[in-house]
Structure 1
Amino acid sequence: MTESVTAMPLTWPPAWPRALDEVMGQPPPRGDYRASPEDFKVEECLGFAPEGEGEHLWLWVEKRDLTTLELARRLARACEVGVRDIGYSGIKDRVAVTRQWFSVHLPGRATPSDLSMRLADTPVRVLEQVRHPRKLKRGVHRANRFELRLTGEVVRDPGVERRWQWLCEHGVPNYFGPQRFGPGGRNLINARAVLARGWRKRDDREGMLLSTARSYLFNTLLARRLTAGHWASALPGDVLILDGTASQFRADIIDAELRERLRQLDLHPSGVLWGTGRLASQADAAAYEQALAIAEPELCEGLQRAGVRMSRRALRVRLGAPALMRDDATLTLSFELPRGAFATAVVRELMAHPDL
């Protein structure tokens, strides 16, 4: 692979290609989603159960039209603790109805008996309370379950079932969704400015700007490999990730067994999340990733100066337990994605929308 990656213009949204445009021979029809929070439902799949005792109170909550960070602040006030005493695994969408776990550090203190009353002015319901010995840490949940309602032209599209079936059989490009970049790509603009002058913790306490820069670079890499037809198939030197796990290995030779496992969605090619360290990929796969440093030197060098370490992300994601239901006015999709994958990456393959 000798062709270099060219930097995408700072316009929004970037023209990242869809997998289905070539398959279907045309872009998807227009559609709408998230007309109300009830159109976008998310449920966190933790993958284990709290133990029932300990100094941390774990809360299974449902929130509506509220960010995870704002709910953490409100829980801290309601339980009379600091925000640092609140734990959660994943940041969920604001314009949505979401269910997820939070933890509250209450050493030597009883569970507030009037917690629901203290949260009465908050669009949240406490569904379950249970104790656990440890704080809920970021990124420990296994997956998220989605139920989405789409409206508009896409509902009348006779090809939508074919599109959906193709995604179920072949997987979905694992793009970071538009939420990561903010309205009009504002987070990326801010990330460029912060990294150009030198990242400091006080400018980005949650690390969101670092994540934004890495996400943009990853999407750029995925877009290039998708255009070249290598997003779902492996190149020599690719690092392959076992579906549903963090297990990975480099494949210097792509034999028939590996190609079959890739076809069955048991393995996925991966791309770099930029930072310090050496690329785990080699040969043809590494050439795509090395080209990022040429195309976006300010972002790559800024991330390295910030000290964030390189890691890997699958280029493709498999839909778990997928289902599609249609009536006269709506399409309802339900599916499960591993943590870190975006439902909006699925939706943009099915319909065109300005936010996607």
Structure 2
Amino acid sequence: MSLPCAHGGPVAEATLKAIPADFQVFEVMHVQPEGDGEHLWLHIEKTGWNTEDVAMWLAKSAGVHRLSVGYSGLKDKHAITRQWFSLHLPGKADPAFSWPEGLRLCDSARHRRKLNRGTHRANAFVIRATRFSGERAAVEQRLQAIMAAGVPNYFGEQRFGRGAGNLVRGSEWLSGGEAPRKKSLRGLWLSAVRSDLFNRVLAERVTRGVWNQVLEGDLLQPEGSRGLFRADEDSDAGRRVAEAEVHPTAPLPGVPGMASSGPCRDLEQQVLAPFESVIEGLCREGVEEARRATRLPVRDLQWSWRQEREGEDCLELAFVLPTGAFATTVMAELIRSQDPTA
């Protein structure tokens, strides 16, 4: 599905992720290990490793069950990323790890609790767009617009699996087809389907120019919170949305919960009507409806220019996004990606 851009579409072409160093991600934690406890927290830099593969390696190397290993979020394989892991080691000394290629220990400390999913509050990105082709002035103007207004909070294509396979198989399953054979696939397929439905509603709001504006009947979400409130109950809602204090939301469908109303509800129902059987399947599986902000603020956005050895321009970006957000949705408003093998 081609998703409409909010700022007019890409203004330049460049190669993204030519090498892992071109895409770097660092967890921004709001909890730090205290220095004492049964859990060993490890801050690890990884290159060419999936997060789950690192967790499996840690469990095997430490001689513990996989469930004794915790982490906060999944990070890209084809990138340089730094994230925290934890090992439950009651009464045990810190293991003497022999780190393999692609893994490097940055820091370690003990803590009283296991590191659970969603513990970190944000991710900091450093992205290099190489083999740049375009006008610098146009790019910087677009970056100013992104810094001021944010971007639509789309789920990135990685949410849907290779070739959107998780989305295709999940949609078929929920419409009466074959169920996932592995329990681990269930969550991936459900997530892919709900993310696609959210993207479709958001795409319609972008097309109508109301992705960052209040619609009558909207449910709003305060910045940095998962709470919701009805826009119609706040006479100051328009100003608060304009100042990015709160954001409009769109549904992640499932068993009905707190619902929008009026024109907002009409828009959502119009977009989701063709997917009635899929949504009924989500309800049968007991998935509860949730809401997600339609706007993604891009914090601490900075950029610089340099030349590659071949004399080609390179654009380096740094910014911070909340957990659950995708850097690819930011780049889609700016850069049309070239094939790095071309």
Residue 23 (structure 2) pairs with residue 40 (structure 1): yes
Question: 2:230 and 2:338 mapped to 1: Cα distance?
Answer: 38
Change (3 A) 1:55 1:133: same
Matched residue of 1:330: which SS?
strand
Change (3 A) 1:27 1:148: closer
Q: CA deviation at 1:104?
A: 1.0
**2:327 alignment partner AA:** A
Question: 2:129 and 2:238 mapped to 1: Cα distance?
Answer: 35
Matched residue, 1:6: none
Matched residue of 2:12: which SS?
coil
User: In structure 1, which of residues 52, 58, 61 is the aligned counterpart of residue 44 of structure 2?
Assistant: 61
Q: CA deviation at 1:299?
A: 2.4
Residue 53 (structure 2) pairs with residue 73 (structure 1): no
Q: Residues 236 and 254 of structure 1 are in contact (CA less than 8 Å); yes or no, is this contact kept in structure 2?
A: no
Matched residue, 1:238: 218
Question: 2:10 and 2:30 mapped to 1: Cα distance?
Answer: 37
Matched residue, 1:350: 334
Q: CA deviation at 1:198?
A: 6.4
Please, what TM-score do these two structures have when normalized by structure 2? 0.92
Change (3 A) 1:94 1:316: same
User: In structure 2, which of residues 257, 265, 274 is the aligned counterpart of residue 295 of structure 1?
Assistant: 274
User: In structure 1, which of residues 306, 320, 335 is the aligned counterpart of residue 319 of structure 2?
Assistant: 335
Question: 1:132 and 1:260 mapped to 2: Cα distance?
Answer: 43
Residue 273 (structure 2) pairs with residue 273 (structure 1): no
Q: Note the residue ranges of structure 1 that are not aligned, 5 or more in a row.
A: 1-13
State the Cα RMSD in Å: 1.9
Matched residue, 2:310: none
Residue 235 (structure 2) pairs with residue 251 (structure 1): no
Question: 1:254 and 1:104 mapped to 2: Cα distance?
Answer: 46
User: In structure 2, which of residues 75, 79, 83 is the aligned counterpart of residue 92 of structure 1?
Assistant: 75
Question: 2:101 and 2:288 mapped to 1: Cα distance?
Answer: 37
Q: CA deviation at 1:48?
A: 1.9
Question: 1:292 and 1:77 mapped to 2: Cα distance?
Answer: 47
CA-to-aligned-CA distance 1:254-304 (integer Å, 9 cap, x gap): 74x322222221111111111112343121212222334412123212211
Residue 115 (structure 2) pairs with residue 132 (structure 1): no
Change (3 A) 1:338 1:201: farther
Q: Residues 164 and 350 of structure 1 are in contact (CA less than 8 Å); yes or no, is this contact kept in structure 2?
A: yes
Question: 1:35 and 1:275 mapped to 2: Cα distance?
Answer: 39
Change (3 A) 1:259 1:241: same
Question: 1:198 and 1:157 mapped to 2: Cα distance?
Answer: 50
Residue 191 (structure 2) pairs with residue 211 (structure 1): yes
Change (3 A) 1:224 1:85: same
Q: Residues 12 and 135 of structure 2 are in contact (CA less than 8 Å); yes or no, is this contact kept in structure 1?
A: no
Residue 66 (structure 2) pairs with residue 83 (structure 1): yes
- 316-325 vs 151-160, which moves further: 151-160
Question: 1:205 and 1:227 mapped to 2: Cα distance?
Answer: 33
CA-to-aligned-CA distance 1:128-155 (integer Å, 9 cap, x gap): 1111122111112110000000123445
Matched residue of 2:202: which SS?
helix
- 185-194 vs 137-146, which moves further: 185-194
Question: 1:216 and 1:19 mapped to 2: Cα distance?
Answer: 18
More strand by share: 2
Change (3 A) 1:248 1:278: closer
CA-to-aligned-CA distance 1:280-338 (integer Å, 9 cap, x gap): 31212122223344121232122111111111111001111110111232101100001
**1:302 alignment partner AA:** G
Question: 1:185 and 1:162 mapped to 2: Cα distance?
Answer: 33
Change (3 A) 1:253 1:198: farther
Question: 2:332 and 2:80 mapped to 1: Cα distance?
Answer: 20
**1:294 alignment partner AA:** A
Question: 1:154 and 1:146 mapped to 2: Cα distance?
Answer: 22
Q: Residues 56 and 131 of structure 1 are in contact (CA less than 8 Å); yes or no, is this contact kept in structure 2?
A: yes
Q: Note the residue ranges of structure 2 that are not aligned, 5 or more in a row.
A: 308-312
Matched residue, 2:85: 102
Q: CA deviation at 1:199?
A: 4.7
Q: CA deviation at 1:63?
A: 0.5
Q: CA deviation at 1:204?
A: 3.5
Question: 1:289 and 1:314 mapped to 2: Cα distance?
Answer: 14
Matched residue of 1:252: which SS?
helix
Q: CA deviation at 1:206?
A: 6.5
